[in-house]
Structure 1
Amino acid sequence: MYLFTSESVSAGHPDKCADIIADTIVDRLLQQDSNARVATEVFLSGKHIIIGGEVKTTALVGEKFYQDAALDALRLIGYPEKGFSHGETIDPKEAEIKVIVSQQSADISIGVDQKGGELGAGDQGMMFGYATNETKELMPAAIVYSRKIRDALYAYAKAHPEQFGVDIKTQVTLDYGSKENFMLGKVQKIVTIVAAIPHVSHLSIDEVRKTIKRVIGETLKDDPLFHPESIEFFIDHTGRFVMHSFIADSGLSGRKVVCDTYGGYAPIGGGSQSSKDYTKVDRSGLYVARWIAKHIVAAGLAHKALVEIAYVIGRAKPISVTIDTLATATTTLSDELLSEKIQAQFPLTPAWITNHFGLDKPSKETFLYADVAARGQVGYDEYPWEQLDALSWFQKLKA
């Protein structure tokens, strides 16, 4: 056996609630001022919501703007669920919201806003992109499975709030059979499925487990690896999960970066994506690194690709771009030469990344950062940074 496990959390998880509130603020500020600079953090505990950080914008916003963003986000997530009492879940109407948002330091603007429309990186740091051929999304399989189950349970909970809550966690363990199969992305079977989902107090644990197994089964019924008779299920394993949301467990923005990206299959960078505008390379750098990695695998240059990009505050061009095909390259092109060719072809500056993906213009028609925060920062084909719009150039490298 060669096992690997990844987990996911739903939009109703306290940490995700914090991310979604933070990114609702980013969306709404950029929609009013595409040049807004945003770095807010959100902390949730009990009935308290604290919004802090720094913002620079021409939009006229006050405390009510931030309070409305928080309340609207929680309602959209699905709070409160009508089957639970006020002591068992959060009711947005009862939340006490404190706003501590200050003006962003002018010292940052010196390096970020440059002549000719160029943008210097809004911070230093390194970001990682990853792709693998083991799923059609070119994502690691365990995170794909855990998200698929999460999304199904979340949809079921939102449709049945008299039975289930939206604060959900899932986890999937896969067996690759051998290290060689792992390197080639060949999953052999699903070993375990873990699900934690709040249920109303009058539901028996047997009812809960039967219902959740049925939802999982319906979700994966056409998957050739889904053989429920040989899978070990852990559903609400303590036997009771009634009290939930940040009434029961505090939430903090930026704390689910592994769930947001590759499920532990690849390194993570120095910071989270949520709560930040596009000049912060924790966000834009990750997106372009994933875009490069996905193109490398989609073009057939390798079975797997790991991309590291590093920036320094105030400088537009990255200080390093490193490609590692993890000994799975299918051509004689070295990783070093591949890195050089990519850097020569694509500027990879914050301005180029922003313009290429439209990061300064979030909308319902393109993408919303709050939706990205809820689902995951990478791995969904409709995101602009998941588009294979430069595939022909990468394919030429194989010749």
Structure 2
Amino acid sequence: MARSEYLFTSESVSEGHPDKVCDRISDEIVDLLYREAKKSGMDASLVRVACETLATTNRIVIAGEIRCSIEPGKVKSKVKSAARKAVKAIGYEQDGFHWKTAKIDVLLHDQSADIAQGVDTGAEKNTEGAGDQGIMFGHACRETPELMPAPIFTAHKILERLAQARKAGEGEAGKLGPDAKSQVTVRYEGGKPAEIVSIVVSTQHLDETLTSADVRRIVEPFVREAAGELPIAESCVWHVNPTGKFVIGGPDGDAGLTGRKIIVDTYGGAAPHGGGAFSGKDPTKVDRSAAYAARYLAKNVVAARLAERCTIQLAYAIGVAEPLSVYVDLHDTGVVDEAALETVLREVMDLTPRGIREHLALTRPIYARTSAYGHFGRKPGRDGGFSWERIDLVPKLKAALGR
């Protein structure tokens, strides 16, 4: 039986965190290749990206495999430009990490022919195989209107709001730097979020004279705003910059790497994660696209009121189009049979890599914005961004299950 009274904690990191800087650069390159494909008339479904970024003091290294329409002699210059624009947008103009002066090494090469043959043609002719083996999870629950777990959703909102305030120069937020972390502990009562009992915020500050108390005074109004309707307990324990001074931030303070914040990217530990990172990958990589599909399906199951909580697992083999398995867990909150739902999910959505890509329209430059503040629980955009957050499968699910 599931526990009904407990504490649960999730963390988030800002767009200026070293790892998130790398995620942003990697995803900017994915977007770059899709934009260039459209300009040249290249079939976007043929674009391939597996891009990793490393960042440290005034140094950025970009490596990986690509297939694109950019002339070979122009790849490095275009990639470098995209990286600099990303760092500038985040807000780094510091001696130890500056968008204009950081040295950038581009070590991208053509995609492996061995991998390409399995993805392009699959194990059978006229199919598109998965880009790798792996397991992917999707989750949804009724803890927030966005159908996300409350701790991770709140932790994201805190940092997103602080970033908005910093860039807009609201109050004294202009004294803050891009690098920040948050952590939120929620007390559950009757299995539902009741109140926030602990808040941790560590944020870089550009004014060296600021104390921890000063930083709390600056950030607390934005934290309370971000909490929304979830109450902050009167006895809530606050830790704001608990180690004191935090002036040296970003890759100058700690090296960053693409794909190291996968739990931040998903559900904050409230649901399983298959292990694969998202950023820097085109949607033939099921690490990304199938995780989006699993979230899409889980969200529609909960939106259809077939369950209060839903976790879905999809499994793939490299070069094979159809998923090896579809598993559904409704956590004893469902009103339908889980095995029947597993069958129906395959019927209402084509879960091959091509089917996912086409259903969610994933071959577009929509990825840079996913690199911070979570890939899930976001509002679908008019340009097709966050398409996996739509709830347009609800009628089909209900009809197929006779609800």
1:125 aligns with 2:145: no
How far did 1:356 drift? 1.2
How far did 1:243 drift? 0.8
Quick one: which of 325, 334, 343 aligns to 2:337? 334
Amino acid of the residue matched to residue 3 of structure 1? L
How far did 1:375 drift? 2.8
How far did 1:345 drift? 3.2
Quick one: which of 92, 95, 110 aligns to 2:99? 92
Distance in 2, Cα, partners of 1:196 & 1:203: 13
SS of residue in 1 equivalent to 2:268:
coil
How far did 1:86 drift? 1.6
Contact 1:301 1:398 in 2 (8 A): no
How far did 1:328 drift? 1.3
Change (3 A) 1:324 1:218: closer
Contact 2:154 2:226 in 1 (8 A): no
Superposition map of 1:213-292 within 5 A: 213-220=220-227, 223-227=229-233, 229-292=234-297
How far did 1:301 drift? 0.9
Gaps of 5+ in 1: 363-367
Amino acid of the residue matched to residue 260 of structure 1? D
Amino acid of the residue matched to residue 293 of structure 1? A
How far did 1:203 drift? 2.3
SS of residue in 2 equivalent to 1:344:
helix
Contact 1:43 1:250 in 2 (8 A): yes
How far did 1:128 drift? 0.2
1:343 aligns with 2:346: yes
Amino acid of the residue matched to residue 352 of structure 1? G
How far did 1:162 drift? 4.7
Distance in 1, Cα, partners of 2:242 & 2:213: 11
Contact 1:316 1:350 in 2 (8 A): yes
Contact 1:154 1:168 in 2 (8 A): no
1:139 aligns with 2:142: no
Distance in 2, Cα, partners of 1:217 & 1:267: 29
Contact 2:57 2:251 in 1 (8 A): yes
Runs of 4+ in 1 over 3 A off after TM superposition: 115-118
Superposition map of 1:136-215 within 5 A: 136-160=145-169, 162-177=174-189, 181-182=190-191, 186-199=192-205, 200-215=207-222
Which of 52-61 and 264-273 deviates more? 52-61
1:354 aligns with 2:352: no
How far did 1:270 drift? 2.9
TM-score by length of 1: 0.91
Distance in 1, Cα, partners of 2:348 & 2:219: 49
**Percent of matched pairs sharing the same residue:** 41
Quick one: which of 46, 63, 75 aligns to 1:62? 75
Match of 1:323 in 2: 328
Gaps of 5+ in 2: 38-43, 381-385
Distance in 2, Cα, partners of 1:357 & 1:99: 31
Contact 1:112 1:120 in 2 (8 A): yes
SS of residue in 2 equivalent to 1:255:
coil
1:19 aligns with 2:31: no
Amino acid of the residue matched to residue 47 of structure 1? N
Distance in 1, Cα, partners of 2:213 & 2:375: 35
How far did 1:346 drift? 2.1
CA RMSD in angstroms comes to 1.6
SS of residue in 2 equivalent to 1:188:
strand
